[in-house]
Structure 1
Amino acid sequence: MIPELGIIEGFYGKPWTWKEREETAAFLAPHGYRFYHYAPKADLFLRRRWQEPHPAEEARGLAGLSRTCRSLGVRFGVGLSPYEIYLDFNDDVRDALTRKLAFLDEIGIDDLAILFDDMRGDVATLAERQAEIAHWMRERSAATRILVCPSYYTDDPILDRIFGRRPDNYLEDLGSLLDPSIQILWTGEEVCSREFTPGHLARVASQLGRKPFLWDNYPVNDGPRMSQFLHLRAFTGRPAGIAPHIAAHGVNPASQPVLSRVPALTLVEAYAKGDAYQYGGALSAAAELVLGPDLARSIVNDLLVLNDSGLDRLTPSASAKLRARYAAFDHPAAREIVDWLDGGYRITQEIIDTQ
């Protein structure tokens, strides 16, 4: 059993171009990826400046991406982060939200993801307020599927340290208050979970009153530490046995759009082959399909350096050799590696604080 698979473009830092988004959706659709959710942290008009209209050029790009996805039979969605509106859901906020939802309807969305992550959550009535807002937005959106990302979307205690202690019974209360048709996003036992197990997912489903909709933070590499690495390895820790326990499986990709397609393909194979899945062979096959045999062979040979060592551990001479090697390839993935070596994808704390 292969669950509904899709891309959730939800990372910090250098955003993909509209062409890269459309090409990624087109490449992955024949392999079973059936939704594409646009929610980059760099789009401030969905986040800190959500009350402002999108500039005309950005609006055209969104509408074009929607048309492309729908032509491919891929559901198109947008993630909206109305920053801390649950603290004061007043008439001005409602008017701004009505305008934003009308804009999203105009460009054409199938899925609306209401994202309450990256916000203070130590509010006693948090679940009640968020459920009220989600229902209010659902009534004013033409989207046929509504998703909610809770403020506490993982068991990971790091969220409590950053955003305040989660209210008691928050997940249970949110799950009981939200209409059963509304999906709830979940990243697992950690923000970037190394593994998902049927036991964990069954427990979360019991708390939420529905199967969780996975927001899988692999191969994303958007933190100050993670941006030093290219997450190229095949998916592991996602056994086929979790399929009956989830509503869908969304992949948050890496900052490098073409390279992200390599691990994305291996997830399909992990579900399709079950106990027969071999992550090493899956990586080699996916890399060759995405990159061609020569570039794939080079990347697999350099995997320990690209995926595991990190930029800061590369000596200048080693970096120069890698750069020369990949500059010799006329392929967009090779150019992504060169850009990464040149520091083009580095994420700073300032980027996270301002996006």
Structure 2
Amino acid sequence: MTDTAPVSTPFTADSTAEEVIDGIDLTGRRAVVTGGASGIGAETARTLAGAGAQVTLAVRDVEAGRRTAAEIVAATGNEQIRVAPLDLADRKSVAGFLAAWEGPLNILVNNAGVMASPLVRTPEGWELQFATNHLGHFALAVGLHRALAAAGGSRVVSVSSSSHLHSAVCFEDIHFRTREYDPWAAYAQSKTANALFAVGAWERWESDGIAVNSSMPGAVRTRLQRHISEGELERQRAAAGSNVPAWKTPGQGAATNVLLATSSLLEGVGGRYFEDCNQAPLSEPGSSRGVAPFAVDPEAAARLWQLSVETLTA
């Protein structure tokens, strides 16, 4: 087993993705970034491309993806930027992406997400945020397992959120079939699921040389907040109290993703939750920082893994 001591790095909440990746050469490496057309995803993709990686933007809006790809090529001079359609809430779309993928994969950043949306159900009856943020990414990562294993020393980044602190996964009613729908509770449990995925995947994939960790990018103004009014967003932040993190730039928000995806400081590290470029401690009651014990609980991770497999194969 690998060392379980908390991981600290020289980087902080103010560090940028460019600073984190400085001196790292990704020439010949292949990366997939979901939701890579905008926000933190686009910044993550641009940074990886700037270090020489071949980057695939896996996006729902292909035209937006192509615009972002062109911007990345112009900014980095790296023409190895691809765009592939991927709707994480659509099982056929995920299957299509997987069928089209060929060869090894070094880096997978599960970044795309839906936040605090009105109640929407997929054709299967799944609640949209859980279906997109967790189930779609679960299916994608499991489907790419062979490609990740083939690369050797590959990295998977599961993008979570401090919002996970507000809800464990409600296994008794994940899809709000009996309880009243709350968009923030739905978002929170999906982000807890993202952290638990890292725990479960590391348990299963460590022997394959696949390191899986979860990332809390921080508060960044992006299209992720499109379902939320400015007033509601500020009320949510005010309710978090005086310790709420400050807004970050996209470059600062992408830093933890890029650290987990590329840094030699993370060799042999998996199943952990990082914020501000360092492993997060367990959260104190009432704090908006740290990781909730229920989000790194191995038993909950195992239960979620089994449920996810059963849900996707039903």
State the TM-score bracket (shorter-chain normalisation).
Answer: 0.3 to 0.5
Greater Rg over alpha carbons, structure: 1
Q: TM-score, normalised by structure 2?
A: 0.36
Q: TM-score, normalised by structure 1?
A: 0.33
Compare the two structures and name the one with the higher helix fraction: 1
Q: Which of structures 1 and 2 has the larger relative contact order (alpha carbons within 8 angstroms, sep 6+)?
A: 2
